[in-house]
């Protein structure tokens, strides 16, 4: 296995452990409390992360066998399974999450080295190599650990994951006319990202620590101060994912 997938698999394993630990800290009544995602309870978030694990197993099956195996059989499947899962008792939600995580870990371990380059397709229709699947899980578990609205913030997300998340957002937002022209800069100056379409204007520079920049870029609660050019308000970014 190449160093890239191996490193990201480790990030996914750590994020999975963090998400499971957060879910374990929830009381049974706590599953019905609101998450940070509009219209979703914490149970919805857990159900989503659980079913996402099985959807990614489908992509790894596709990569291993060469037989097209979409993440979801139909466009409505994802939403339906989340709603059904969110109504399940807390004990079942916890057990289902652990089982799905185990299935995904097994599928990662079983994928032959030569299959990491196989092309699969995401639920949004984007064709990617199977080597991107571990990163797709990293995003899910770390961001949704924050979305549970318990006690996890982006300060708990490893800095290398924070930087990679902003890389992902910047690639999505670069050149988009509906995104304000913003340059994100880490407080140590080691990382910069350009978002949006210039339209001939100078970018608003937003500086801060990596966790806060990642939270801002992904539309989540920002744990620390951010400093826009001239001390004005932060530009409002489009929704990501």
Same structural domain, 74 and 108:
yes
pLDDT per residue as tens digits for the range 112-152:
999 999 999 999 999 999 999 999 999 999 999 999 999 99
- Assigned domain for 236 exists: no
Reading the block at residue 191, the tokens are 């990382």
Domain of 34, in residue numbers: 3-152
Tally of structural domains, the chain = 2
pLDDT per residue as tens digits for the range 20-40:
999 999 999 999 999 999 999
Mean of pLDDT over the chain: 95
Same structural domain, 104 and 192:
no
- Assigned domain for 200 exists: yes
pLDDT surpasses 50 at 2: no
Q: Give the least confident one: 93-107, 126-140, 220-234.
A: 220-234
pLDDT band at 1 (very low <50, low <70, confident <90, very high): very low
Same structural domain, 198 and 143:
no
Q: How far apart are the C-alpha atoms of 145 and 153, rounded to whole Å?
A: 8
pLDDT band at 230 (very low <50, low <70, confident <90, very high): confident
Domain boundary among 118, 152, 186: 152
Q: What is the CATH number of the domain that holds 214?
A: 3.30.1050
pLDDT surpasses 60 at 66: yes
State the average pLDDT over residues 222-237: 93
Left, alpha or beta for 11 (phi > 0: left; psi -120 to 50: alpha)?
Answer: alpha
């Amino acid at each position: 296995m190449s160093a890239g997938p191996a490193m990201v698999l480790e990030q996914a394993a750590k994020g999975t452990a963090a998400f499971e630990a957060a879910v374990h800290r929830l009381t049974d009544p706590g599953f019905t409390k609101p998450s940070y995602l509009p219209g979703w309870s914490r149970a919805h978030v857990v159900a989503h992360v659980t079913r996402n694990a099985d959807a990614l197993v489908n992509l790894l099956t596709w990569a291993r066998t060469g037989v097209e195996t979409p993440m979801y059989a139909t466009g409505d499947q994802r939403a339906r399974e989340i709603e059904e899962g969110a109504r399940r008792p807390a004990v079942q939600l916890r057990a289902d999450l652990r089982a799905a995580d185990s299935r995904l870990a097994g599928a990662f371990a079983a994928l032959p080295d030569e299959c990491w380059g196989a092309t699969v397709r995401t639920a949004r229709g984007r064709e990617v190599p199977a080597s991107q699947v571990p990163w797709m899980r990293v995003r899910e578990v770390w961001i949704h650990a924050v979305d549970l609205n318990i006690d996890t913030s982006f300060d708990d997300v490893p800095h290398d994951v924070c930087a990679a998340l902003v890389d992902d957002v910047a690639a999505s937002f670069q050149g988009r006319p509906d995104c304000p022209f913003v340059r994100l800069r880490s407080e140590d100056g080691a990382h910069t990202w350009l978002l949006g379409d210039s339209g001939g204007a100078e970018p608003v520079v937003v500086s801060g620590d990596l966790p806060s920049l990642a939270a801002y870029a992904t539309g989540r609660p920002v744990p620390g101060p951010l400093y826009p050019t001239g001390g004005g308000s932060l530009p409002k970014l489009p929704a990501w994912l």
